[in-house]
């Protein structure tokens, strides 16, 4: 397996986003790609420029929600479509810090295919764990659409 894996999972009213990876960072990146994939068709979106994404939280699961919500905020402020992410996580329980980047290009309605707006990442079905068998880190939550 190479790099981050992104998946979606079922929810009656909204959508679940999940990231998996050999590292915690890869799982976070997979989750971010999953959420962006809910919002836009990502095929063909170039990583032309980046914006910094920084956030903190007491635990890794909450850090994932913060990460997604910061991405949503920056996407709106910069009017961009993101197709690539980088994340670096440091700290320990009680104080985790994520420093990352979101790469993409300015939103262009003539080229980009919008799907559905994500209002926020939520604590609903929020989980962070190491998968038995594969040993992969998994992080997930429901996003409100």
Partner 1 sequence: MKIQDLKKVSDYQWEVPRTGDMTVPGEIFSSAQLVQEMDEKVKEQVSNVACLPGIIKASLAMPDAHWGYGFPIGGVGAFDSEKGVVCMGGVGFDISCGVRTLRTTLMKDDLRGNKLEQLADALFRDIPAGLGSTGEIRLNLEQIDEVLLGGAIWAVEKGYGTKEDLKFVEEEGRIDGADPSKVSMDAKKRQYQQVGTLGSGNHYLEVQYVDEILDEQGANVYCLKKDQVVISLHCGSRALGHQIGTDYLKGLGQAVKKYNINIRDRELACAPVTSEEGISYFAAMNAGVNCALANRQVLTHLVRGAVESVFKDAKVETLYDISHNTCKLEEHDVDGKRTKLYVHRKGATRALGPGRAEVPERYKDIGQPVLIGGTMGTCSYILCGTEFGTKVAWGSACHGAGRNMSRTEATKKFWGEDVVKRLAQRHILIRAHSKKGIAEEAPDAYKDVTQVVDAVDKAGLAKKIALVRPMACVKG
Residues at the contact surface with partner 1, assessed by CB under 8 A = 8, 10-15, 39-40, 62, 66, 69, 72-73, 76-77, 79, 107, 109, 112-117, 119-124, 126, 142, 144-145
* Least distance between partner 1 and beta carbon 91 (Å): 16
Strand partners, 110: none
DSSP string, the chain: --S-EEEEE--SSSEEEEEEESSHHHHHHHHHHHHHHHHB--TT----EEEEEEEEESSHHHHHHHHHHHHHHHHHHHTEEEEEEEEEEEEETTEEEEEEEEEEEE--TTT--B-----EE-STT-EEEEPTTT--EEEEEEEE-
- Toward partner 1, which CB reaches closer, 26 or 141? 141
- Toward partner 1, which CB reaches closer, 59 or 134? 59
- Toward partner 1, which CB reaches closer, 69 or 140? 69
* Least distance between partner 1 and beta carbon 22 (Å): 27
- Toward partner 1, which CB reaches closer, 10 or 132? 10
- Toward partner 1, which CB reaches closer, 1 or 120? 120
* Least distance between partner 1 and beta carbon 73 (Å): 5
Region for residue 44 given its phi and psi (left: phi exceeds 0; alpha: psi -120 to 50; beta: otherwise): left
* Least distance between partner 1 and beta carbon 5 (Å): 17
* Least distance between partner 1 and beta carbon 24 (Å): 20
Q: Which residue has the tokens 């594969």?
A: 134
């Amino acid at each position: 397996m190479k790099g981050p894996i992104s998946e979606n999972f079922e929810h009656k009213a909204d959508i679940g986003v999940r990231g998996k990876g050999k590292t915690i960072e890869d799982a976070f990146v997979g989750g971010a790609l999953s959420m962006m994939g809910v919002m836009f068709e990502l095929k063909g979106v170039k990583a032309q420029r980046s914006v910094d994404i920084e956030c903190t939280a007491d635990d890794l699961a909450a850090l994932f929600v913060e990460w997604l919500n910061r991405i949503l905020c920056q996407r709106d402020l910069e009017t961009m479509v993101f197709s690539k992410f980088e994340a670096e996580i440091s700290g320990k329980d009680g104080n985790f810090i994520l420093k990352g980047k979101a790469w993409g290009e300015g939103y262009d309605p003539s080229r980009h295919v919008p799907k559905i707006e994500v209002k926020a990442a939520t604590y609903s079905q929020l989980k962070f764990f190491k998968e038995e068998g594969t040993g992969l880190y998994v992080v997930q939550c429901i996003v409100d659409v």
